[in-house]
């Protein structure tokens, strides 16, 4: 099959990403081989029996200090935590630069934030972006939205994420309810899904108070957020069957077993296969407590026995993205079970294309297609 070459704007970025993967691998190898050796403190031997001729308790020798038989040097865990925090800080700083250099700032909108309790799990923060067309008297559609970031970075405060939500709310005339779900590995699956479900129930329950039309609520997600959004529709079907009107999934992760990863785009971008596989596998390793959980439908929505009676779906994928197979397979599964589902693949585009609205026509088209899908919530029943 003939392919459209990678858009020129991504060529240098692919080279940079390749260098990053190689340098990261080298750093990890260096840390492994040069790591300090752990020492085990041996269990102290029993004190010898006291000399019956001794005249002082000290004659039996000093009393040994208690020690754990498994006491070891433990410097690795604090170092990992520090590295993770540094990585997230660097990611957010990079995101800020991306918005300034290749992105499109979002408009000023009315914003409100809420903290939602989640039974048995951490509370979750939700930010509502109200469109400028909302006058308070007429309820408007809403979209419960989940950001991307491999389950372990990102958030609703990231500059490109915030700008994207603002633009979509303004251009589509809908309330964007952005969920700041907990990050892995501090919080593992199914924490994020339970937070998502609690957010969905809250949005429906409080719709009238929030100026939202409860008959016109959708869910949406990007990448890891797409996984959460898709799994939420399954959970909603099991628990409450709230009337979700649409699921909008952008470059979604739908199979954490890796069964639908497509490495051809990686090869064509010149990224070594071994590094790409390692990076992709680390996503599931970080998110799940046990890799066997990858076979659960709530972790891998594609693996559900049935996708019947799920909301209408719009799925967007990118040609140069190893997750394109996940999106295509999920689209096929939805269609096979009678769901109204459509899909679009953007040629010459990569996983993070939507943030390049300031410099890339494909990113602007992507935004327009998202807005079109969201504006369909305004259509008459």
Q: Which residues pair with 116 in a beta bridge?
A: 124
Q: Is the dihedral of CA 344, 350, 352, 354 positive or negative?
A: negative
Active-site residue identified among 321, 326, 352, 367: 321
Structure tokens at 166: 């603002």
The verdict on whether 351 is a catalytic residue reads: yes
Element (H, E) at 28: helix 8-34
Phi, psi of 198 (to 5 degrees): -65, -40
The verdict on whether 260 is a catalytic residue reads: no
Structure tokens at 242: 């709230």
Are the C-beta atoms of 242 and 308 separated by less than 8 Å? Answer: no
The verdict on whether 2 is a catalytic residue reads: no
Going by C-alpha positions, the residue among 179, 112, 145, 203 that lies closest to residue 373 is 145
Distance CA 207, CA 205 (A): 6
Active-site residue identified among 95, 199, 213, 223: 223
Distance CA 72, CA 31 (A): 19
Are the C-beta atoms of 142 and 174 separated by less than 8 Å? Answer: yes
Catalytic residue list:
223, 321, 351
């Amino acid at each position: 099959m003939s392919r459209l070459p990678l858009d020129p704007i991504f060529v240098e970025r692919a080279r940079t990403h390749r260098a990053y993967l190689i340098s990261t691998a080298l750093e990890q190898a260096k840390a492994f081989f040069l790591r300090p050796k752990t020492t085990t403190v041996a269990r102290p031997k029993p004190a010898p029996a006291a000399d019956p001729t001794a005249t002082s308790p000290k004659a039996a020798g000093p009393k040994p200090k208690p020690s754990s038989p498994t006491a070891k040097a433990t410097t690795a865990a604090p170092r990992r935590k520090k590295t993770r925090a540094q990585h997230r800080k660097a990611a957010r700083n990079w995101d800020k630069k991306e918005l300034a250099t290749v992105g499109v700032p979002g408009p000023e909108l009315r914003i409100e934030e809420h903290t939602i309790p989640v039974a048995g799990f951490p509370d979750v923060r939700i930010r509502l972006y109200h469109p400028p067309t909302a006058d308070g008297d007429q309820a408007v559609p809403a979209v419960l939205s989940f950001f991307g970031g491999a389950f372990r970075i990102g958030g609703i405060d990231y500059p490109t994420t915030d700008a994207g939500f603002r633009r979509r709310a303004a251009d589509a005339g809908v309330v964007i309810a952005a969920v700041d779900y907990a990050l892995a590995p501090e919080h593992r699956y199914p924490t994020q899904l339970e937070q998502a479900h609690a957010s969905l129930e809250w949005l429906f329950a409080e719709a009238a108070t929030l100026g939202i039309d409860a008959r016109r609520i959708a869910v949406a997600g990007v990448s890891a957020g797409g996984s959460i959004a898709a799994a939420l529709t399954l959970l909603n079907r099991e628990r409450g069957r709230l009337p979700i009107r649409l699921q909008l999934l952008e470059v979604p992760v739908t199979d954490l077993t890796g069964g639908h990863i497509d490495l051809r785009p990686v090869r064509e971008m010149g990224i070594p296969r071994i590094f790409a596989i390692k990076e992709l596998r680390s996503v599931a390793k970080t998110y799940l407590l046990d890799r066997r959980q990858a076979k659960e439908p709530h972790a891998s929505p594609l693996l559900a026995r049935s996708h019947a009676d799920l909301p209408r779906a719009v799925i967007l994928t990118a040609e140069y993205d190893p997750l394109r197979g996940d999106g295509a397979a999920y689209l096929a599964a939805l269609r096979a079970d009678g769901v109204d589902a459509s899909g679009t693949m953007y040629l010459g585009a990569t996983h993070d294309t939507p943030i390049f609205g300031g410099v890339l026509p494909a990113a602007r088209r992507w935004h327009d297609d998202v807005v079109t899908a969201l504006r369909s919530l305004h259509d008459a029943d």
